[in-house]
Amino acid sequence: METSPEPHRPDPAGGCPHADNARLLARGAVTPVVLPGGVEGMAVLGHDALREFLQHPEVAKDARHFTELREGRIPAGWPLLTFATVRGMTTADGEDHRRLRGLVSRAFTPRRVEELRPRVEELTATLLDGLERAAVDGVADLRRHFALPLPMGVISELLGVDEEFQLRLHQLTSQVVATGIEPAQAVAANRELVAVLAAVAASRAERPGDDLTSALIAARDEEGDRLGQEELIGTLVLMIVAGHETTLNLITNAVRALCGHRDQLDLVRGSAVSWADVVEETLRWDAPVSYFPFRYPVRDLDLGGTVIPAGTPVLAGYSAAGRDPAAHGPDADRFDVTRPARPDAVRSLSLGHGAHYCLGAPLARLEATVALERLFDRFPDLDLAVPEEDLAREASFVGNSVHTLPVRLGTSLSA
């Protein structure tokens, strides 16, 4: 008689996900999980199953479909609560989702993003100067001095977030996505995040500018049925978190990958492949998000031979799907920037799929491509200052990266 597999317990303290992913994929594309606090859920790990799940018409994002939450069995300090309850496009379905997405989508079209290229290049050059100044005996934390302030600076300019708020917003959003945080700390971080973003909104209401927050406030004030105050703050939460955390991890993971695979770095620096190829392979091989919460089947759903009960909170296993041998071949674990372009059916899902595909994907790709090319042009000998296995991981099973990235800069080819 067959027994059900033991539920996987994602480590709230984070850690490298790939060994667990390989073990779980070997037994199936969908697996039961136990989330912090003993909350039962599921994770979709296989590429094909995840692609189907992300666009399934009977899978919802609205937390009213989350059975345990609806029945009052999820405590206020649950570390994943914000992912379920924040009011915005990531927790909206149907017409509500289209309305909220429509309010911000024009800021992230490929054309509008390409218009940001000169500013991204300018900020990148400034940060590379700062990275060199920050080095002690030739070593600097690339994550702190480069990979973080680039996307944070760009999204803050788009939103009209004054510099005085930026560092605190990163600190708070890091706590919001942390999965091992204590309940009281989680509640406090969420409250302060809402308060800081309310202050940002108040500042823009008093001094409107040519920024997305001012445009959202105008939509709220002039057409109140299009955007409520809670949705305004929720949209800002989403924009800040997704607008910098994902790209921060993407740049960090790409640098780690290239430093650990010097032959691949030689290929791109020799123009055998492009920096865009490096970004795409990093998205697949070491996705910036490991498990993203949540989606909920609105009825019992058979996915790849596994039934996911209605109302179950489901994690999207992006890092696992990226290395699924069934989709990416027997060498899926190998970092290879020369991989041929993949057809849509097996393209990386790391930035989502379907109606909730990441709005900021073009911006993330632009920032990462510019950052990597300029970084290795400036510091061609750049390498990790400590072994990969000694790098401390982020304290979350949502984000997938390291907490710091000390690098030895080597020779600087200053402009």
pLDDT, tens digit, 9 for 90 and up, residues 268-285 = 999 999 999 999 999 999
The DSSP secondary-structure symbol of 161 reads -
Q: pTM for the full model? A: 0.95
pLDDT of residue 163: 87
Check residue 272 and give its pLDDT: 92
Quick one: average pLDDT of 5-29? 94
Closest CA to 212 of 259, 133, 169, 157: 157
Closest CA to 249 of 383, 407, 400, 83: 400
Is the pLDDT score of 225 beyond 60? no
Average pLDDT over residues 309-315: 98
Is 137 buried (19+), middle (13-18) or exposed (0-12) by CB count in 10 A? exposed
Helix, strand, coil share of the chain (percent; to 5): 55, 10, 35
Per-residue pLDDT reduced to its tens digit, 77-109: 899 999 999 999 999 999 999 999 998 988 888
- Cα distance between the two ends of the chain: 69
Instruction: Give residue-wise pLDDT tens across range 324-381.
Output: 999 999 999 999 999 987 666 557 899 999 999 999 999 999 999 999 999 999 999 9
Distance CA 282, CA 26 (A): 22
Rounded Cα distance between 19 and 73, Å, is 32
pLDDT tens column, 103-139: 898 888 888 899 999 999 999 999 999 999 999 999 9
Q: How many Å apart are CA 152 and CA 350, to the nearest integer? A: 20
Q: Is the pLDDT of residue 192 over 80?
A: yes
267 or 223, higher pLDDT: 267
Average pLDDT, the chain: 93
For the segment 160-181, the average pLDDT, to the nearest whole number, is: 90
pLDDT of residue 2: 47
What does the pLDDT read at residue 324?
97
| In the predicted structure, residue 1 carries a pLDDT above the cut 50 | no
Q: What is the C-alpha to C-alpha distance for residues 224 and 152, in angstroms, rounded to an integer?
A: 29
Distance between CA atoms of residues 79 and 120, nearest Å: 33
